[in-house]
Amino acid sequence: MLPVLSLGPLSLPVPNLLPIVGLVLGSWLTERWAPRLRLAAKVVSDILFYSVLIGLVGARLFVVLRTPQAFLQSPTSLVSLNPALLDPLGGVLTAVLAAWWLAQRRGLSWWRLADGLTPFLAVMQIALALRAAAQGDFFGLPTTLPWGVDLWGATRHPTQLYWALGALMVLALVHGWVRDAAQAPTPPPAGLLFWRFVALSAFVFVLVAGFRGDSPVTASGWRLDQIAGVMVLAVALYHWQRRATAPPA
Amino acid sequence: MSQVARFGSALRWPGWLLLLTAVLWTGWRRADPAMLTQGRPPAPQVGFQAPDFTLTTLQGDTLRLSDLRGRAVILNFWASWCPPCKAEMPAMQRVYADYADQGLTIVAVNFTANDPRPNVEAFVARYGLTFPIPLDEGGQVFAAYRVYSLPTTFFVGPDGVIRDIVVGGPMAEALLRTRAESLLAEVK
């Protein structure tokens, strides 16, 4: 756990910094790998940049719409830099809609764009896992295994590190598929890379969630995060294999 | 062809293997809801009981956190020399004035171990703070809450469980209001 990084007089909040680092590295990798996927690097990185920007605005607007009274009493809070005043789900939803709209405007197929943005998503997943580790979220069940970590009054599975390791392996696989795509005579079916990434990420998540000590559970003990992960996995596998077996366009 | 049949025919054996593994693992790792909360001593983390403490306030009263069960609590850690603390205190006072009668308590624990008392008194007078200011003269409450950065704020529900943590500041007034309203919804 590393909530704050002290550099001389500066105290940097690591959980807030990691998504920014992920954003920068992910954007860089996306721009670098786009040509291998036969995409124009500038188009993909422009769409990514503006989608993130619009997503940030959307994340704030979702909070404003939920609690307008709070902002009426303090209008300056609208432009506050507090990340706690951002709605993550609202931000992702707005960013996806923005990316879809920008892709339409640029005449780029949605699924080709999704493939182009996959390296970004893979890096962000690692950043989020490390963020959870820095913050002590997503913690594991108590364990006696030698690699257990002392956290919140018990020796626990380092679930955040399991997740980060799994996400790193997914990124390595994405890298391999991107390299294969660059060497293939024809571009891969649109959306194949994206759905492969989603399927493997969901699989990793389901595995890791089984060790969590903070899962939301039903009365009969089913972990809701795992159930959601299995459903995402099923959908992603269907799309992956449908694309993989489709005749070339 | 039905949706299920289409799904079945599209999925090849490696896909089925992956899906089957995930389903079996999910079934095997079912958790007794009590198991997830067992072994959870009070800890400064969302979902845990807020560590209890007893301190003397600047006003000379004794304040025990667990005595505030049933109320929404904003637990703020601050020092008079910390610029973001200065910036957010007026908003904190306004929020307290607006919501105290609905069941909100703000407890602003001062880092007295590293903040001379006359400075604290001058600060409180300057900003007209009316909520309790417990003085952590030994720094043990700061240590128990693992406060690495000032200000740090914990939002504690009426059951004494931490709902949210904001590290750093200054917090926007709207943030304080949204969190206060969300906690107060549990009090009502």
Listed as ranges, residues in chain A with pLDDT below 50 are: none
Instruction: Give every CB contact of residue A37 below 8 A, 6+ residues apart in sequence.
Output: A112, A115, A116, A178, A181, A182, A187, A188, A193
**pLDDT mean across residues, chain B:** 91
Chain B contact present for A233, CB below 8 A: yes
- pLDDT at residue B2, as a whole number: 65
The position carrying tokens 């707005």 is: A94
Strands B72-78 and B104-110: parallel
Size of interface A-B (CB pairs under 8 A): 150
Q: Do A84 and B164 touch (CB under 8 A)?
A: yes
Cβ–Cβ contact A183 with B under 8 A: no
Number of neighbouring beta carbons within 10 Å of residue B116: 11
- Contact assignment for B174 to A71 by CB distance below 8 Å: yes
What was the pLDDT predicted at A59? 97
CA distance A43 to B187: 51
Q: How far is A4 from chain B (nearest CA, A)?
A: 6
Q: Please give the C-alpha separations between residue B26 and each of A3, A9, A179, A227, B23, in angstroms, as whole numbers.
A: 31, 47, 33, 7, 5
At residue B34, the pLDDT reads: 67
Is domain B54-187 classified as CATH 3.40.30.10?
A: yes
Q: Which residues have a Cβ under 8 Å from the Cβ of A159 and sit 6 or more positions away? A: A138, A139, A140, A208, A211, A212, A213
Q: Which residues of chain B have pLDDT under 50?
A: none
Task: Tell me which residues of chain B, numbers 124 to 153, contact chain A at a CB-CB cutoff of 8 Å.
Answer: 146, 148-149
pLDDT in tens, B41-53: 789 998 899 999 9
Quick one: which of A49, A58, A124 has its CA closest to A91? A58
Q: Do A152 and B43 touch (CB under 8 A)?
A: yes
C-alpha A152/C-alpha B51 separation (Å) is 11
Q: Where are the domains of chain A?
A: 111-249
Write down the residue that tokens 């890791």 correspond to: A208
Q: How far apart (Å, rounded) are the C-alpha atoms in residues B131 and B92?
A: 9
Question: Can you list the positions of beta strands (E) in A73-213?
Answer: 149-151, 154-156
